[in-house]
Structure 1
């Protein structure tokens, strides 16, 4: 079986490529539709809804229920769980097909829920967009289920590469829209509307097609069963009740944040969502790659009652992610405005929205480390199939986050509301991380606390040193234009990275040493 490290490395490369393409997608759409325009806000909200509905119905069960059940079936069934996987795929196709139709009908209600600050023109266009986008719910479900089956069979690369295809198609759509001179207002011609709507969903369809092709190529016989029973649907339902609570509360938090951002005026939603997309890149490249490769192994350990090995795996994942995420979080806090200028201050972008986006990205730096550690620790509960506790903790996180978003909406000026959203997220995820750690300590006996505390302290010292070095570079270079911001990013990045590495060596961060040895096997890095 492919080792977690090897699988994680391969997935990190694929995810990095996909995320780079995702960045280009964001930049192209911002240039084509106009960062800060009502059109881009409308498009982004409508394109968010299929993901939200999918997560509500199925997405949350992938890591918490589907992967552990597929793993157990592969270990216990005489056919290595093939029929079980076929029936599970059939069930998901039937459920999501029905949900897609219902979502299309309920589009006006969903738009009103997520964006009450929209004008009448925005609302009408968002409803039309969303009805073209909702078939993505089914596409995402098939892609995710096929990807989970591939992961169980030891194939991690294709599911990680598939989003690249999606982004490439949408980039082509955005460039075409820009070349033909598409409108940046909310009154679109039929041709402009179809180009954006059909082209965007075509990207998700292509992503699904690639994963399904890879599944068939792996030797798995793809077959839909008219009667999907025989997969312990009642057991899935019992586990799924708590997962549903978890996903509902998470989506309530997302809806609360989007609603708050919609009151920030034109560009508020786009600033929040684009800053969020940038902030999630390091998490997706590092943490998601590690977690996806780690969960099947943790599920096997938990199924065998090997709780000590579960603890060791979780501790290693948290510490490995920390040494990468901490300096990136510091970079966001210090260089957020410059990152926003370099990425978005061009084309049809509004300069004021670019500045707000930079401030939001700086605030997101506060959330990156607690969010990453919280998500990794949650995988421990998933491996133990303790969906009830996971759901209750997620509900707590959502409650704290919703309260923070509400406070931002009530207390802050309109243009500052979106800056308060990531601060609320940081407090919420820090709360969830500590509660999850306490629960796992009780369930597993210990969570390697001394080593975790020691590593966090050393990483903090190294990160502070790197941040100080970068701050000096920012002060020396200064920035008032796009070119100066680019120079600032390069100089500050080099100075901060060097300061972090030197300090990391002096305080003996072993995890950083191992990462460097893996990345540069022929170079003496310590």
Structure 2
């Protein structure tokens, strides 16, 4: 799963770089495209996305355990319900496009607003495609099949990369005045990528022997129970989307390129989380749900503790790399084509600030899976509301205190404070529900990882200092040389310190990644 996710995220990286070069990082066109392409994800998450991990996977798991047909009929009816609901939501979203654009991007010009509305109406069918894809992936996951859902986003990215390259090859404009051919290329091509992603997952579901059949009447899946649980999930997702909207609105006031700097840095920041933490959480949740259903709380604690510690030993050095190398990463990835040098600089600073949020965000999301496995959506929603409240307040403070061009840099700092608050609250609640959360082992691992990360960061800084003359070469080449050298030196320093500190979680990861080779 991690390999598939890494390949998909690498392609996603290339997609971001190609679109930035073709549409112009820092241009109003790319900001407009990004906002319009964000809206289907936001609406989907608001309606269905949050229920997948918190409600749907545990319910599918219980049905597979308890139903005589292994939960097949239950899954068919659930898929039918998702398709019917999201079809209606898609139509409503298309009608409400102007209101949604005004909500997320009040800083847009009249011309940007008009183009964003047109783009979004082509993009909104993605809501239905995402819903079908996610439901089919959940059905595959509870049957122990994780490969196709992890590989599917690669199809999406490859298609959009081809769209971006074609747009650049035919001389597409970087202004918000597009002719019909260029508009259709960007809009239909982008939605076509999501359609291909859905098609691959559905094909894999059929190959797995699952009979895909829509039921005119989807009742019989405890809709009322889903509704009761879903009320709290809806609160959780609404508050999360409020935070996203507040951050996007704040970024829109940073001027041209502000939204793109925020969204691209956010996308880079989520890559290690998706490759490591999401892979761990996706494989972990069905198992935790089984333990919780059988009342085996000690095994729930053991699984959560192992997941947090495993993710920590990978995420901590990556977070340090973001802090140290954020500007250089931005130059290497985005200082090409029609990109604005000023926007590239801001993007690098935003990425560096995101390094502060990576570890608390990862641990918070993993511990939330413990509440999902216990089907305690109420507590999860209340904690999420607190996190969103802290984050929104932080974005407001950034907008109030910082100069306009720096507002976007304050957003990830607000995120870091918010997720640290949520992590603390979730840990306290789980300790009360489960009796303990393996606190001593978690604290010991955190201290050792912090020391190892500090050692690696010092080695990376020394490499940057020694290679300072390389900065005199062209910006892209100098950033690449110093970045790679610092990453290698920091990695060696981290591994050496981890060995001296007897960091068992790191040893287990290395031995698993390199079987047959003595790595420790």
- Taking structure 1 as the reference length, the TM-score comes to 0.98
Q: Which runs of 5+ in 2 are unaligned?
A: none
**What is the distance in 2 between the residues matched to 1:49 and 1:149?**
26
Matches within 5 A, 1:125-164: 125-164=115-154
Counterpart for residue 214 of structure 2: 224
What is the RMSD of the two structures over their aligned residues, measured on CA atoms?
A: 0.5
Counterpart for residue 15 of structure 2: 25
Mapped pair 1:42 → 2:36 = no
Counterpart for residue 3 of structure 1: none
Counterpart for residue 489 of structure 2: 495
**What is the distance in 1 between the residues matched to 2:75 and 2:514?**
39
The Cα shift of 1:450 comes to: 0.1
Q: Which runs of 5+ in 1 are unaligned?
A: 1-10
| 1:239-279 deviation line (CA, Å, top 9, x unaligned) | 00000000000000000000000000000000000000000
Counterpart for residue 415 of structure 1: 405
3-state SS of 1:68 partner: helix
Counterpart for residue 470 of structure 1: 460
**What is the distance in 1 between the residues matched to 2:89 and 2:412?**
31
Mapped pair 1:519 → 2:508 = no
The Cα shift of 1:185 comes to: 0.2
**What is the distance in 2 between the residues matched to 1:408 and 1:205?**
38
Matches within 5 A, 1:430-469: 430-469=420-459
Equivalent pairs, count = 516
| 1:219-243 deviation line (CA, Å, top 9, x unaligned) | 0000000000000000000000000
After TM superposition, which residue ranges in structure 1, 4 or more long, deviate above 3 angstroms?
none
Mapped pair 1:317 → 2:303 = no
The Cα shift of 1:27 comes to: 0.4
**What is the distance in 2 between the residues matched to 1:507 and 1:217?**
47
Shifted more, 44-53 versus 469-478: the winner is 469-478
Counterpart for residue 255 of structure 1: 245
**What is the distance in 1 between the residues matched to 2:245 and 2:137?**
27
Mapped pair 1:236 → 2:230 = no
Counterpart for residue 498 of structure 2: 504
Counterpart for residue 190 of structure 2: 200
**What is the distance in 2 between the residues matched to 1:111 and 1:477?**
46
3-state SS of 1:103 partner: helix
**What is the distance in 2 between the residues matched to 1:518 and 1:305?**
30
Mapped pair 1:301 → 2:295 = no
The Cα shift of 1:15 comes to: 0.2
**What is the distance in 2 between the residues matched to 1:398 and 1:97?**
29
Matches within 5 A, 1:341-420: 341-420=331-410
| 1:126-180 deviation line (CA, Å, top 9, x unaligned) | 0000000000000000000000000011110000000000000000000000000
**What is the distance in 1 between the residues matched to 2:482 and 2:111?**
40
| 1:432-459 deviation line (CA, Å, top 9, x unaligned) | 0000000000000000000000000000
3-state SS of 2:212 partner: coil
**What is the distance in 1 between the residues matched to 2:56 and 2:99?**
30
3-state SS of 2:173 partner: coil
3-state SS of 1:231 partner: coil
The Cα shift of 1:477 comes to: 1.0
The Cα shift of 1:522 comes to: 2.2
The Cα shift of 1:32 comes to: 0.5
The Cα shift of 1:87 comes to: 0.3
**What is the distance in 2 between the residues matched to 1:524 and 1:70?**
41
Counterpart for residue 4 of structure 1: none
The Cα shift of 1:468 comes to: 0.4
**What is the distance in 2 between the residues matched to 1:414 and 1:477?**
34
3-state SS of 2:38 partner: helix
**What is the distance in 2 between the residues matched to 1:279 and 1:72?**
34
Q: 2:155 aligns with which of 165, 168, 184?
A: 165
| 1:364-421 deviation line (CA, Å, top 9, x unaligned) | 0000000000000000000000000000000000000000001111110111101000
3-state SS of 1:523 partner: coil
**What is the distance in 2 between the residues matched to 1:327 and 1:30?**
27
